Amino acid sequence: MALLPSAHVDSFTRDNLPPPDAWPELRFDLPELRYPDRLNCAVELLDRRLEEGFGDRPALFCGEETWTYRHLSRTVDRVASVLTREMGLVPGNRVLLRGTNTPWMFACWLACVKAGMVVVATMPLLRAAELRPIIAKARIGAALCEAALVDELRAAAAPELTRIVCYGGPDTELERLAAAQPERFRAVETSQDDVCLLAFTSGTTGEPKACVHFHRDVMAMCDTFARHILKPRPGDVFTGTPPLAFTFGLGALLAFPFRFGCATALPRGAGPAGVAEAVQRHGVTTIFTSPTAYRAVLGQLKPGDLGTVHTCVSAGEALPKATSDAWFEATGIRIVDGIGATEMIHIFISAAGDDIRPGATGRPVPGYEACLLDEEDRPVEGPGTGRLAVRGPTGCRYLADPRQAKYVVKGWNVTGDTYRRDEDGYYWFVARADDMIVSGGYNIAGPEVEQALLAHPQVAECAVVGAPDAERGMLVKAFVVPRDPSLAGPALVKELQDFVKARIAPYKYPRAVEFTDALPKTQTGKVQRFVLRQREMERAATA
Ligand code: 3UK
C-alpha cells in the first residue's frame, strides 16, 4: 500500500513502520471511512466544531472548571505555538505526554497533533525504569509533563530527552509560555496516513511494543464503534477512568465526544469515587470503565445515583454475565461490552441496546470483519471456537518490531484471544490463549471458572490459573478476594467448590482456592494472571 506524501520533516516513525507485506489488510468499506488525503485529526475533532458554531458549548468539565470548545481551541493553538516557536520542534518529532486526565493534558494532546508531532502519551503511574525504554524506543526529545509527576520523568535520566516543559503546577512553564503566544495556530497539513501517535502496550511481560496509529485511525475509531454502536447525541456528557495513554481512554474521553460535539467530565479523584462525583456534578450520560470498576461500585449504588446516565461501556477484560446482570438489576442499564486492543486502536466487536446478549461480547462493529482461525490458520465456518482474527480500517503496525509477524497472520490481526461464535454470529470470549489450563487431559478456560465463581455473593474478585501439579500436570487454582474477609476459611472453600460444580462441568472446579486481599493488576486494570502463574511455578519449584 503506497503511502501519501508526508508532512513530517522528521521521518523517524515512517522509516520504522513494518515492511508493507507485514501489514494487516485494511478495509474502508463504509463511505464514512473514506477520508481526504490531507487530514489532521485535531482539526477534525476541534476546529470543525468551532466552524459548526459549537464555540460556546462545553467541551471539558473538571470540578468547578468548564472549558468551552472555544477556550479549548485557543489553549490548543497557544500550546502548539509553544511546541514550534519556543521548543523548536518540527513535524514528526515525538513528544512524550505525562499527566493525569486533566483539561491541560487534553489540550497538550490536541496541540501536539495539530502541530504535526507524534504523541506518545504515557501512563501517569509509570516509574523511571518503565519510562526509559519508551523514550529510547520512540527516540523522544521533548516532553510535556504535569508538575506533580515530573520527578520520575527526570529520574529516568534519558539522554535523548533534552527538553521537559511542566504544566499544571503553581507558576509552571507551559502556561507562562502559552500566555505569550498568539490566539491562533495554523494546523500542519498532515496526510491521513501520517503518524499521529505511538501507543505503547502494557503486554504481559517483555519489551514494550509501540503501536503506530495514523491521523485517519483516530477518525476511524469514531466512525466505527462510536458512530454505529454508541451513537452519541449532542448534549451527551462522557466520563470514565481510562487514562489518555490507553487508547480506550483516548477514544472514550477525547476523540468520541469531540467528534460528535459532546462534552467530557474529567473525574477529579481516581477510581469510582471520582466518577461518581463527575456523574452528580455534570449530568453525565455515558460512562466508560472496566468490568472490575463496575463490580467495585455495585455494592454501594443507591437508586437514583446514576440519575442522568443512559449508557455504560465496559472494555479491557471480559464482562461476565453475572456482572452484567447485577448492574442491570441495580441500575436498569445494560452495559455495552466491547473488545478492543491497542493494536486496533479501539473496539471492533460489540453490541448495544436490544442487540446485547449478556455474557457475549457482541458482533463485529460496522467497518470490521471477524473470523476464527483453527490451528492451521484456516477460518472456522459457522458456529465454533478458534483464535480471534479481525480486519477493518485500523490494524497492527508495531514500530520496528519482529513481533509484527506474530500479530498479523495472512492479513488478519490475531489478538491472542480464544473466542466461540454462535449460530447468530455473536462472539463469546473463552480465554486469552495463555490462560487456557490443561488439567488431567482437560482443556479448561480460566475465565469460565472465574465467571462461575463471580456469581457467588461472597466473591468480590477472582482469578483462576493453572498451578503445577505432579498428578494432573496442572491444577485449577482460584485466587479469591472475599467480600467479607472474616469468612475466608475451609468452609467457604468447600462452598465455592460446590457452587462451581453445580454451575459448570464439575471437572472444571478449582481444586485449590487461596484467599487474598487483592489481585495483581496492570495499569490498564487487567488482572495479571501471569504473575499468579509465575508465583505458583516458583512455589512448586521450591516445594
Ligand atoms: C482483552 C477483552 C474480553 C483481550 C482496549 C478497548 O483492552 C484494550 O487494549 P489492550 O491492548 O488489550 C487487548 C486485549 O484485552 N480485552 C479487551 N476488551 C475485552 N477481552 N472482552 C473484552 N470486552 O485479551 C484483548 O486482546 O490493553 C480496549 C479499547 C481500546 C483498547 N486498547
25 DSSP 8-state letter: P
Residue 393: band (very low, low, confident or very high) from pLDDT cuts 50, 70, 90: very high
Q: Whose CA is nearest to atom 15 of ligand 1?
A: 316
Mean pLDDT score, 146-169: 97
DSSP secondary structure letters along 339-407: EE-GGGSSEEEE--GGG--TTS-BEEPTT-EEEEE-TTSPBPPSSEEEEEEEEBS----BTT-TTHHHH
Mean pLDDT estimate for the chain: 95
Under 8 Å between Cβ of 266 and 278:
yes
Query: pTM to 2 decimals?
Result: 0.94
Choose between 273 and 259: higher pLDDT. 259
Q: Whose CA is nearest to atom 8 of ligand 1?
A: 341
Pocket of ligand 1 (CB under 6 A): 201-202, 247-248, 315-319, 337-342, 346-347, 361, 415-417, 429, 432, 524
Comparing C-alpha atoms, which of 305, 302, 323 is closest to residue 314?
Answer: 323
Q: Give strand pairing partners of 141.
A: none
Residue 302: band (very low, low, confident or very high) from pLDDT cuts 50, 70, 90: confident
Comparing C-alpha atoms, which of 472, 475, 471 is closest to residue 533?
Answer: 475
Choose between 271 and 232: higher pLDDT. 232
Considering just the CA atoms, what is the radius of gyration of the chain in Å?
A: 23
pLDDT digits (tens, 9 = 90+) for 397-449: 999 999 999 999 999 999 999 999 999 999 999 998 888 898 888 889 999 99
Give dist(CA 475, CA 518) in Å, integer. Answer: 21
- 204 pLDDT more than 60: no
Comparing C-alpha atoms, which of 69, 153, 80, 126 is closest to residue 103?
Answer: 69
Give dist(CA 328, CA 112) in Å, integer. Answer: 40
Comparing C-alpha atoms, which of 268, 239, 267, 269 is closest to residue 254?
Answer: 239
Tell me, what amino acid is at 301?
Answer: L
Sheet architecture: strand order including 209-214? 163-167, 142-146, 94-98, 118-122, 195-201, 209-214
pLDDT at 281: 94
Give dist(CA 479, CA 486) in Å, integer. Answer: 16
**Ligand 1 center to 380 CA (angstroms):** 22
The pair phi, psi for residue 168, each rounded to 5°, is: 75, 20
Q: Which atom of ligand 1 is nearest to the CA of 199?
A: 32
- 532 pLDDT more than 70: yes
**Ligand 1 center to 525 CA (angstroms):** 10
- 203 pLDDT more than 70: no
Choose between 438 and 191: higher pLDDT. 191
- 304 pLDDT more than 80: no
**Ligand 1 center to 338 CA (angstroms):** 8
User: What proportion of the chain, given as a percentage, has pLDDT over 70?
Assistant: 99
The pair phi, psi for residue 229, each rounded to 5°, is: -105, -50
- 152 pLDDT more than 60: yes
pLDDT digits (tens, 9 = 90+) for 344-384: 999 999 999 999 999 999 999 999 999 999 999 999 999 99
Q: Count of alpha carbons within 13 Å of 404, Cβ hemisphere only?
A: 21
Comparing C-alpha atoms, which of 478, 447, 424, 435 is closest to residue 320?
Answer: 447
pLDDT at 206: 66
**Ligand 1 center to 340 CA (angstroms):** 4
Give whole-number Cα distances, 109 to 144, 199, 350, in Å. Answer: 9, 13, 27
Under 8 Å between Cβ of 361 and 427:
yes
Whether the CA torsion 118, 121, 126, 127 is positive or negative: it is positive
The pair phi, psi for residue 179, each rounded to 5°, is: -60, -25
Residues in the chain: 543
Under 8 Å between Cβ of 99 and 105:
yes
Cell of 465: 490459573
- Greatest mean pLDDT range, 254-263, 470-479, 513-522: 254-263
Mean pLDDT score, 308-333: 95
- 205 pLDDT more than 70: no
Mean pLDDT score, 196-222: 90
Q: Which helix (H) or strand (E) holds 204?
A: none
pLDDT at 413: 98
Which of 335, 414, 417 maximizes ligand 1 atoms within 8 Å of its Cβ, making it the mutation to test the pocket? 417
Tell me, what amino acid is at 232?
Answer: P
User: What proportion of the chain, given as a percentage, has pLDDT over 90?
Assistant: 87
pLDDT at 524: 82
Phi-psi map region of 164: left, alpha, beta (phi>0 left; psi -120 to 50 alpha): beta
Give dist(CA 334, CA 345) in Å, integer. Answer: 24
Residue 473: band (very low, low, confident or very high) from pLDDT cuts 50, 70, 90: confident
Give dist(CA 299, CA 285) in Å, integer. Answer: 21
Mean pLDDT score, 148-166: 97
